Each structure stands twice: as C-alpha cells, then as structure tokens.
Amino acid sequence: MTQTSVSLGLPIPMVETGVIAILRPAVLDHLDATVSALVGAGVRCLEVTATTPNFLAVLRRMVDEVPDGVTVGLGTVTDLSLAERAIAAGASFIVTPGVVDGLPDVAHRHGVPCIVGAWSPTEVMRAVAAGADAVKIFPAATGGVAHLRSLREPFPAVPFVPSGGLTCESAVGFVSAGAVAVGLGGALTGSALRDGRTTAIDERVPALLASVAAARGVR
C-alpha cells in the first residue's frame, strides 16, 4: 500500500526523505529481497522504470507488497497511454525523461503528481508550462551540481529532482545545491537485483539518508 497524499505537489515520502530508489530489475528473482532491504534501511520512495521487462507486473507487485508510508511510481514514461496504464496499476507518481505534452494533465486527472524531465532552461520552461509538479534534471551527472545551481538562478521556485548517473556522494552535493530530492539506481542497490546480496544497501542507504538530511540544513 502506498501513501497517496501529496505535499508541495509531490508524494510526502519523497519530500520527507529526499531520496528515490530507482529499480530496473532484469529478472525478478531478487526483487522482493531488494525492496525489503531498501525499505528496511529507510527508503520510502521507490521508482521502477518502464524499460524494465514486464514493468507493469513489477509495478503492481511492488505496490502490493510495500508497507504503508512507502510510495511507488513509474519512471521513463514517454506517452499518455503508458501513464494511464501505470496509474491503473497503482503508480503513485509518474516520471518522464523529457517533456511530453499533455502527460501531466493525464496524471493530474487521477490525482497523481508528475515529474517531468528537462535539461536546458527552455526545456524547464516547457515542463513548468505543461504542469510539472517537479522537474527532473536528466541526465544530472552530465552537468553536475554546477548545472543545477545555474538552473536555480532563473527558476528558484521550481522543485528540481536530479537523476541519472548520480553517486551517493554527488547526490548529497545536489541536495546541498537545492534539489528537493535525488534519484539513484545502482549506486544504492549495488548487485542486489542480480544476486540478492543486500550488503551495499544496508551500508549505503542509512549513510545517504543521514547525509541528505544534514545537507538540507546547509543550503
């Protein structure tokens, strides 16, 4: 069961923790163990990508199995039909890699927030005009923290969610620069989705959450 209330247009767990764990399981053998380890370590916001095999089934499975207070969304959403199907499968938020006209409207009709991908100032303006609840800077690693700082100068009121190529260390830098949340994949999960070994999760997640919380106090 996921938490559907929103704050500042985004799911409460995303706003409170500032960390989104992004999952792209090639097989499902270790999905449950990975999700359990992430949640046990403190993650409250999970995203499965639409590039995952049988992603809607994976999404439903995660939605059904996570405890209250944990929210699950679908990422890499590139068309309106996919957004509709994701929401029907239980997605509590939608993430796009770029601006898709009309997609935020589809999400909002169902009371679901939409994070729209953008890179340039022009794309940020298009995302905001389209109704984005937040803007995903993607790929964030390409321009680094300096790019986020540059975007925040003309867009100080836009909630930014950097994603793409982040490490635990660079993620903290983005939060210090004003990101409302950060999305991380393998940097958080290590090899867990491949072999079920959750040691990396147990070590990295608590440290990252603590660092993000501290960084929010020094913006």
Q: Are 80 and 103 contacting, i.e. CB atoms less than 8 angstroms apart?
A: yes
Whole-model pTM: value is: 0.94
Q: Which helix (H) or strand (E) holds 89?
A: none
- Classified as helix, coil or strand, 84 is helix
pLDDT at 5: 36
Annotated active-site positions, please? 47, 136
pLDDT, tens only, 14-44: 999 999 999 999 989 999 999 999 999 999 9
**Residues 36-83: pLDDT tens digits?**
999 999 999 999 999 999 999 999 999 999 999 999 999 999 999 999
Amino acid at position 124, single letter = V
CATH of 6-213, one of 3.40.640.10, 3.50.50.60, 3.40.50.300, 3.20.20.70: 3.20.20.70
The answer for residues whose C-beta is within 8 angstroms of residue 90's C-beta and 6 or more apart is: 2, 59, 60, 63, 64, 72
- Strand-strand pairing, 114-118 and 134-137: parallel
